[in-house]
Amino acid sequence: MSENIIYCYSGSGHCLNMAKSIAQVLGDTDIVMMRSYPAKTDATEAKRVGFVFPCYGGGLPGDVEDYVKAIKIAPGAYKFAVEQFAGYMGCGLHKIDEIVGLDYWNTISNHSTCIWLMPHRLTIPPTSKKTAQERIDRKALEVGGAVRAMKRSEKKPPKNAVFALESKGFSGINAKNIKNFKANDKCIGCGSCVKICPRNNIQLVGGKPSFGKNCIGCLSCVQYCPKQAINVGKITEKRERFPNPTVSAADLTQKIIHID
């Protein structure tokens, strides 16, 4: 059993990159992915239990809220969370705090990977990809140091009714967009989208991806397609992709990643 466990959700690799950097500061850490039902829900032997995740639609991505409810943590364990967002932090941290009772939390703005909504460049303050990554690396060191020392946050994560409402409405907006996923002529039928989908929602039919109705909108298939052939309607055709350069499609599909 590792001394630390970090539960991570990541669609385009940025949160996994950050979870790995925090784990490197801590040492002896299991990063358990929450893209599908977490491989390990018994965290009772861990001294520190963390959550690293993005804001999606003002709230938590996919089924993360239900997954966190299933995790068993020892009463005396130290609990921390870090959220990435583009423009605003939403209610995700507050929801996690309600479930597990956080000792420490932190946030960082990164480029938006929701490219059907906007080009990825949005950050607060606006930054290049390189500067955004440098800020995240610095934040990971800060968080890693704080968590190693079991620092406590003075305030609780803010509660915001508007974001809670937005996150409820997001699944409807998402459902609309799911209908618009399509592979264009650049598709070579390599099946990488089939492998990366956390919901087994994509199948190759006649050598081309066919999208089912079980999509959670993580956009991994769009962001990681080697030919940039998958689009959400027409709007993403000319928009640059931004998967984290240090995280491969294969990394994202791991269930548990151990960092010594």
Ligand X SMILES: Cc1cc2nc3c(=O)[nH]c(=O)nc-3n(C[C@H](O)[C@H](O)[C@H](O)COP(=O)(O)O)c2cc1C
Q: Contact residues for ligand X (CB under 6 A)? A: 10-15, 54-58, 84-88, 90, 110-114, 217, 219
In the complex, the smallest distance separating the C-beta of residue 1 from ligand X, rounded to whole angstroms, is: 26
In the complex, the smallest distance separating the C-beta of residue 206 from ligand X, rounded to whole angstroms, is: 28
What's the Cα-to-Cα distance from 130 to each of 13, 189, 245, rounded to whole Å? 15, 32, 10
The smaller minimum CB distance to ligand X, of residues 78 and 81, is found at 81
CB of 208 within 8 A of CB of 183?
A: yes
The smaller minimum CB distance to ligand X, of residues 87 and 212, is found at 87
- Measured CA to CA, the distance from residue 9 to residue 50 in angstroms comes to 11
Alpha helices, DSSP H only, in the chain? 14-26, 64-70, 92-100, 129-148, 161-178, 192-196, 220-224, 249-252
CB of 31 within 8 A of CB of 22?
A: no
Q: Which amino acid is at 116?
A: W
In the complex, the smallest distance separating the C-beta of residue 28 from ligand X, rounded to whole angstroms, is: 23
The smaller minimum CB distance to ligand X, of residues 64 and 78, is found at 64
In the complex, the smallest distance separating the C-beta of residue 122 from ligand X, rounded to whole angstroms, is: 8
SS3 state of residue 73: strand
Residue that has been written with the tokens 């409807």 in this structure: 172
The smaller minimum CB distance to ligand X, of residues 78 and 224, is found at 224
In the complex, the smallest distance separating the C-beta of residue 257 from ligand X, rounded to whole angstroms, is: 14
The smaller minimum CB distance to ligand X, of residues 118 and 190, is found at 118
- Measured CA to CA, the distance from residue 249 to residue 168 in angstroms comes to 29
Q: Tell me whether residue 245 is exposed, middle or buried, using C-beta atoms within 10 angstroms of its C-beta: 0 to 12, 13 to 18, 19 or more.
A: exposed
- Measured CA to CA, the distance from residue 35 to residue 63 in angstroms comes to 8
Cis peptide before 243 (omega within 30 of 0): no
In the complex, the smallest distance separating the C-beta of residue 10 from ligand X, rounded to whole angstroms, is: 3
The smaller minimum CB distance to ligand X, of residues 19 and 78, is found at 19
